[in-house]
Structure 1
Amino acid sequence: MMEDAVISGLKCQTEERHLKTANRSTRSRKENISLAEDLKEEGEDISKLADRLKERVKFAGDTSVPDLDFSLWDFAGQFVYYITHQVFLTSKVVYMLVTDLTKSLEESTKIMLSESSVQEQVLPNEWKVKDFLSFWMNLIHTQGAAEVTVNKEGRKVVKREHFSPPVIIVGTKKDLLDDPENDSKKRLKEIKEYLGRTVPVASRHIVGMIALDNKSRKDEAASDPEVKRLREMIKHTAMEHFNIGNIPVKWLQLELALKKRKEETMPLCDAYRIGKDINLTDDGVTKALAFFHSVGEILHFDMMSETRNLVILNVGWLVGLFKILITQSIACKDDIDAPPMLSYMTDELYLRGRLHEDLVDHVLKCNRRSSDKAVLLATMKQFDILCEKPTEVNRGNRHVYYLPWLHQSACDTGEDIIHPPGSTPSCSLYFHFRGNFLPDGLFYRLIVRCLRKWPRATELVKHRIRILVDSAKDLHLVIRKEALI
């Protein structure tokens, strides 16, 4: 795992639950047990479940006391996972950007393609610690913006100094510095000044910075007191930024009913049926699923037919599906029993950004996930991670897909490839993003969108592509990404 800048997202719900009628706020133990009968898991003691349920809703009648429910996510630091993070990022979270304080901003670091030893290589453009920090801040900025209100004069003003979603910078390994207290403050100051200078817009998401001695200790009292301060900072930040308002209790009942299921996923029609059992309409279920999706508890992608009718109850199920495709495809290079063609397809994927359907089938079959292939590909299409390459269809209609993010080919003659001798360039159209805001994912999503409209990619090299738009007129579209420092 890349240790220099790892991101964690705290999916948090700050829900002030209310009961629609006053008498419900004094629901009897008998009624609690009746509800628990419907929600208890196999073998679970019903009285304990009733107490737990009662504890969860005891604040329902008191809207002045918020019900905080946190879940912690750790986003993978390997390079190949970066483009998939957008599937799970959301705006209603507190982000912690974690960085190693023993490394300076200018220190170069290896960009690991994966955990596999085969791909332990430095990519053509080696990243520094500061590059990772800028990358993550820009990526987070895609999920939010400033909260704007209108003043008495009718002018728009920013409601808060900080943007949402909020970010806490966490520096680790403080104890390994020569002067832990002073050196850690100096490093955090350098990070703050660097981000404020290079990504001034995205840096406005930062609400706090903290340095930790994060060694695990059996006695919590012996742990760094800054760990406790971090917990309080997270709680305070969530309370300040995510006062969602009144959430119907039936949504809580639906969540509990869905989470007690043993399945990782379920058809949308089954979720509607469960909703009817608690007197929740189909529209009410849809709204509840949208809320749970926004806080990362349950996933429901309703933009494509392949995913619209699927409710993902365990988010880890989809995370695992991505991990299988990424890590197991690389493992084909180490597997001496694997067909030689699979080794070639792995190189195609990680050097040329081409994903062969045969490789997808192989890794999913080895992990008994073949039935999940349609959901995997549909999700990657929905988020513009890949697109079909119609000019390359193998025997038996076996497809090849473009994943521009993984295209690592770069060469000295790249400019001649993009603008071959004799070609006549037209006027260029530039999109300039204020504050150095241009996440890599946005650039590659643009490429995927263009390839869907004009599927003939004449040449594709790192950060540049030439697409054939009109063969009769020999008209090409050139897209490139440049950094203005």
Structure 2
Amino acid sequence: MTLEDTLVRESGIDIVRHAIVSEYRIQVLVSDILNIPREILRWDKDARCRYVECAKKGTQTIHRARAMIVGCAGAGKTTLLKRLQKRSLHELQQVQSTIGLEVHEEVFEIAEDKADLRSFTDNSNKEGKALLSVMDFGGQCAYYACHQVYLSRRAFYLLVIDMSKSFNERIDRKFCDQEETMFADWTYGEYILFWMKSVHMYCDETAPVILVGTHLDKSTGQTTDTFYNSILEHLRFDKNLKKHLDRKRCFLVGLHSINDPSFNDLSDLMFCIASIAKEDRWKETIPADWALGESTLRYLRGQNRRIISKAEFQKECFGTIIEKYEQVPDILKLFHEIGVILNFREGVLSETVIIDIQWFVDAFKNIITDLNNVMDNVKNEEDWQNFYQNGYILDSLLEEIWSSKSFNVGSFKPKILQYMQRLGLLVVGDNQHYIPCMNKCTFDAAHEDSFKRWKNKTSVLVLRFQFLPYFIFCRLVVACITRTDGEWGFLNDQGLRLFKNVACFAYKGHGVALAVNHSSIQVQVFKPGNSFLEKKVTLEVRSTIERLLKELTGTFHKEIMYIAGYQCSMYEVFTEYNGCFVEETAIQRKGQMVCPRHALLHHHVLCESDILGYWKQDCGIQNAVEAASRQDNFIVAYEEGLRKFNFKTFEHLTKVGRDALQIYFDKEFPLRDLVSMSSRQENFRKVFRLNDGQCAKLFPADKSNPSSEKFDVTMMYTMLRNRYPRLQAPTKGWGRTPDTSDIRLTDDVERIRIYRNEIGHATEATSKLEKKELEEKARDLMEAILRLSNGVLKQEMMNALEGRT
């Protein structure tokens, strides 16, 4: 039964008209039964009805599969594609690393009688044929920002992995320049997780992933089973990612010599690719007029057209049959959503269609090229280096780059920039443009200290994702600038503005700080002077951020949404403490409660109004005078305690210092990291230079999970010190006494070690230190404790000052 026959039956029409957007499985079922593009079922009722009416007049079935080749730089992705195309050895030897993204439209035909790949060259005769397009993704992290244009559920994936590299090995900079980016010092294993999570996020649970292990000739002892098992072990903490894999979709390839029969023997892999591409999931039936639209787009691309107006398209498609022009917006909407064109139904963008996406992506990738592909013919190297560091590109440099690559932009430049801004790739300016993914400026210790001086701040709102691709933060920054009706401006106070991981804005007399870390986007609102924060403003900030995130993640897999929560202690927005995240639902309507994360360790008490007061409409704010009084009471008690201070209380205080060090240690070594080390004990023993006793604590003989509560100061200090290069070294370096003006957290780690040693090796002389000198040491130690624990241990400090433990 054809789709046309089905649609004219009341049941079929009714299903299409009333498909519910939120019920994903119903959409899939209806789409599979009727071979209707799944995107149609997410449209509103009127649009679905228009589709039905068009389909009644005639339909055409198309079979177009799409494969994405992804993986780390240098893994052999392009070489694999050339081998699938059965290119010569000479051509393979000439392969260079892919820059950005290469689109190979409909390069393979799937045979009707068997699952086999055939190179397709007859562009004039495509009707009734099953065709496969292939996208070759560049593995350099600089280009990940433009991958969003193509990653979608309308594809299956070949994840290419270099088997000669250990999962723990850091990627070679000659393949991927990661320095000063959010990907700095990533390992090959982290990139595997990145790609698997990217597939899961942009697609759905049914998106197949084919594992291809390359460089078999450089590996020893690898078999398909051992390689597949190692991937499963690497993904053991996320069962959802394993749903994309199948042992039958795992292959090993190597390049030995031309005399080796395995040189061109990719028959099993080709059979697997063809089998997936042949599935009915890629077969869809659309109205005949819409199929004519696809043919028209193909013809225009063949004429080297890049951008056209909507008026040009409807005239090329339907000529003088004006009554058919009303179908054009729906046709463009469908082809935009399935990734064939770019056309947004907003303002001036609605009148323009980018029909050559490869050309558009080339325009962007030529701007954001990394150091390995830097353009030698850029005349003003200083301007380029400034752009490469801070993300601000002068308009004159942009034109120079495009012209130096013989990239014919011409009068299309304003439209290209508008589209790039709409996609969240950049912010268009007058004389310069801002590209967040190129910003390598670090929010360093000086900026942190500047931020800490703001006294009036909200708690830290944490939006925690199951998987958070860094470039969502880049797109959010662009959206805050471009989609807030000009109300969000730049904050220039104290040099706080835009960094690779923090962005500061001004909004209605308040400052708004956004920060990104491994799993969360964090928000904090602050205000200068002694004036109080306005709850109306903080609620508007939250509403705006959540609205923008909903728009940016609207096409994501339904499970990839965030959980709202808070840092249970008053940490700053730019810090990530995984052990201090408490979900919003766990705090609401609880008044005062023992912290669910720290109850046993620190008897930490949460006040609902302090944490939720500025972020929830139905939660009252703690009286500002009372809150200030509580702070003043602590300061009074702090100073009173110092006046009574003696060597014995200093000894008590060093024990609190040990607990502060543990809080910081737990942030840098979360339990999941400690557990993962157990499988490679000998390796980590050497990395962290642990002795037998310390190894026994880190790797318990009974196979139970290690606990930092059992680690002493020496062990935690040793592991933190050897966390290089992830941790920034103390100001004067490891093993040296910091000055009181040195306030990096690693400076405080040194302080805890030094003062613990002073107590541990105390002599009669040191126990009789002058009160002034002892008080200075105590003040220095307590400030270190406050910073490392971010205020969690205030009560423990007061107990120590009063001589109680």
The superposition leaves residues 46-104 of structure 1 with CA deviations (integer Å, 9 ceiling, x where unpaired) of xx99xx64xx44x5xxxxxxx42111110122222110111222321112121111111
Q: Retained in 1: the 8 A contact 2:342–2:357? A: no
Mapped partners of 2:450, 2:253: distance in 1? 49
Q: CA deviation at 1:427?
A: 1.1
Kept in 2, the 8 Å contact 1:330–1:346? The answer is: no
Matches for 1:161-240 after TM superposition, within 5 Å: 163-181=205-223, 184-197=224-237, 199-207=238-246, 209-215=249-255, 222-223=262-263, 225=265, 227-240=266-279
1:86 aligns to 2:145 (yes or no): no
TM-score, normalised via structure 1 length: 0.70
Q: Distance in 2 between matches of 1:216 and 1:90?
A: 35
Contact 1:11–1:295 under 8 Å retained in 2: no
**Larger deviation, residues 320-329 vs 370-379:** 320-329
Counterpart in the other structure of 1:394: none
Alpha-carbon distance, 1:110 to partner: 3.6
Paired residue type of 1:271: F
Paired letter, 2:515: I
- 1:72 corresponding residue in structure 2: 134
* 1:256–1:350 distance in 2 versus 1, CA, 3 Å: same
Q: What's the secondary structure of 2:255's corresponding residue?
A: coil
In structure 2, how many angstroms separate the alpha carbons of the residues matched to 1:418 and 1:11? 52
State how far apart, in whole Å, the 1-side matches of 2:432 and 2:370 are: 18
Q: Residue 236 of structure 1: CA displacement?
A: 2.9
Deviation of 1:478 after TM superposition, in Å, equals 3.9
Give the residue type in structure 2 aligned to 1:419.
F
Aligned pair 1:421/2:453, yes or no? yes
User: How far did residue 219 of structure 1 move?
Assistant: 9.3
Letter in 2 for 1:242: R
Q: Which of 439, 453, 458 is residue 469 of structure 2 equivalent to? A: 439
Q: 1:107 to 1:268 in 2, by over 3 A?
A: same
Quick one: which amino acid aligns to residue 368 of structure 2? I
Distance in structure 2 (CA, Å) of the matches to 1:292 and 1:217? 44
**RMSD (CA atoms):** 3.8
Closer, same or farther: CA 451–329 of 1 in aligned 2, 3 Å: farther
Which residues of structure 2 form unaligned runs of 5+? 1-71, 78-100, 108-121, 520-577, 579-671, 673-805
Contact 2:442 2:499 in 1 (8 A): yes
Q: Is the 8 A contact 2:336 2:342 kept in 1?
A: yes
C-alpha distance after superposition, 1:105-146 (max 9, x if no partner): 1110145698xxxx795757211111212222232233233x
Q: CA deviation at 1:438?
A: 0.8
Contact preservation (8 Å) 1:8, 1:96? no
Q: Could you tell me how far apart the structure 1 residues matched to 2:400 and 2:313 are?
A: 32
One-letter amino acid matched to 2:412 = D
1:383 is aligned to 2:383:
no
Deviates more, 1:445-454 or 1:4-13: 4-13
Aligned to 2:115: none
Is the contact between residue 143 and residue 165 of structure 1 (CA under 8 Å) also seen in structure 2? no
Mark the runs of 5 or more structure 1 residues left unpaired by the alignment. Answer: 14-47, 60-66, 146-162, 390-397
From 73, 98, 103, the counterpart of 1:2: 73
Residue 251 of structure 2 contacts residue 269 of structure 2 at CA under 8 Å; is this kept in 1? no
CA distance in 2: counterparts of 1:202 and 1:415, whole angstroms: 38
CA contact (8 A) 2:151 2:203 kept: no
Verify the 8 A CA contact 1:212 1:224 in the aligned structure 2. no
Distance 2:366 2:159 in 1: 25
CA distance in structure 1 between the partners assigned to 2:359 and 2:299 by the alignment: 16
Per-residue Cα deviation, 1:334-377 (whole angstroms, up to 9, x for no partner): 44x82xxx433322322112222222222234434232312321
- How many matched pairs? 399
1:308, distance to aligned residue in structure 2 (A): 2.9
1:324 aligns with 2:386: no
Q: Which of residues 505, 512, 516 in structure 2 aligns to 1:476?
A: 512
2:386 is matched with which residue: 348, 351, 367? 348
Is this contact kept in 2: 1:465–1:480, CA < 8 A?
no
> 1:314: which partner in 2?
356
In structure 2, the CA distance between the partners of 1:5 and 1:246, relative to structure 1 (3 Å rule), is: same
Return the alpha-carbon distance in structure 1 between the equivalents of residues 341 and 458 of structure 2: 45
Give the helix-richer structure, 1 or 2: 2
Letter in 1 for 2:203: G
Contact preservation (8 Å) 2:424, 2:475: yes
> Of 450, 472, 478, which aligns to 1:448?
478
Mark the CA change 1:476 to 1:441 in structure 2 (over 3 Å): closer, same or farther: closer
**Are 2:311 and 1:281 equivalent residues in the alignment?**
no
For 2:191, the equivalent position in structure 1 comes to 132
Structure with the higher strand share, 1 or 2: 1
Is the contact made by 1:3 and 1:77 (CA closer than 8 Å) also made in structure 2?
Answer: yes
* Equivalent position of 1:463 in the other structure: 501
Counterpart in the other structure of 2:581? none
Deviation at 1:2, TM superposition (A): 1.6
Question: What secondary structure does 1:311 align onto?
Answer: strand
- CA separation of 1:169/1:68 partners in 2, compared to 1, >3 Å: closer, same or farther? same
CA contact (8 A) 2:142 2:370 kept: no
Q: Residues of 2 paired with 1:419 and 1:166: CA distance?
A: 46
CA distance in 2 between partners of 1:254 and 1:449 (Å): 32
Q: Is the 8 A contact 2:391 2:439 kept in 1?
A: yes
Post-superposition offset of 1:220? 11
CA contact (8 A) 2:392 2:433 kept: yes
Distance change (3 Å), C-alpha of 1:217 and 1:269: farther
**2:304 aligns with one of 263, 273, 276:** 263
Q: Percent identity?
A: 21
Distance of 2:465 and 2:178 partners within structure 1? 33
Residue identity in the other structure for 1:178: T
Residues 8 and 210 of structure 1: CA distance in aligned 2, closer, same or farther (over 3 Å): farther
User: 1:193-226 CA distances to partner (integer Å, 9 max, x unpaired)?
Assistant: 22242x443443335642332539879975464x
- Gap change, CA 1:465 and 1:5, over 3 Å in 2: farther
Any idea what the Cα deviations from partners look like across 1:10-66, whole Å, max 9, x if unmatched? 9889xxxxxxxxxxxxxxxxxxxxxxxxxxxxxxxxxx99xx64xx44x5xxxxxxx
* Equivalent AA in structure 2 for residue 310 of structure 1: T
2:146 alignment partner AA: T
Does the residue aligned with 2:512 lie in a helix, a strand or coil?
strand
Are residue 302 (structure 1) and residue 348 (structure 2) matched?
Answer: no
Q: Any idea what SS the aligned residue of 1:104 has?
A: coil
Partner-residue secondary structure (3-state), 1:386: coil
Q: Distance in 2 between matches of 1:451 and 1:86?
A: 20
SS of corresponding position for 1:260:
helix
**Residue 321 (structure 1) shift:** 1.5
Indicate conservation of the 8 Å contact 2:504/2:511, yes or no.
no
CA distance in 2, matches of 1:462, 1:328: 16
- Structure number with higher relative contact order (C-alpha < 8 Å, ≥ 6 residues apart): 1
Q: Residues of 2 paired with 1:356 and 1:218: CA distance? A: 50
Q: Secondary structure at the match of 1:308?
A: helix
Q: Does 1:95 align with 2:129?
A: no
